[in-house]
Structure 1
Amino acid sequence: MKTENTFIIHPETIEQENALKAFVKALKMKFEVAKEKPYDPEFVVKIQESRQQAKEGKTVKMALDDIWKE
């Protein structure tokens, strides 16, 4: 029976990474190692703050013509 669940695990050390790989290989499970780095945590916090400000109506509207004025 095939499951549709995906597990995302974040090892913190090389030892943990190697242990996970060995475990998954021993169970003959398919796996892949993502090479992409997640967003910078500081950037994520700024985006979350901006979204919260927008929800609270703390935004400024500008006319399109005003954007290019100096």
Structure 2
Amino acid sequence: MKILLGKNDDKAVFVKTLLKKHTKTKPNTEANHVFLTELLYAVEEIKLIKTGQLKGRPAEELLKELP
């Protein structure tokens, strides 16, 4: 989860401090970034298919492409 704080006032500093004390963090690697970007793209594509703005493919077609 990403959290973006637009201000750097006392409230934002408090929230950052609170999060650091009660959450575990690790640096985002390039592989994680690529995976998350592709996952977000896939979710958006699914939304477009559900609304009819994009045509989907049957799962059988996808399975036939696998080795």
Query: Normalized against structure 2, the TM-score is what?
Result: 0.33
Which structure exhibits the higher relative contact order, with contacts defined as CA atoms closer than 8 Å and separated by 6 or more residues? 2
Q: Which of structures 1 and 2 has the bigger CA Rg?
A: 1
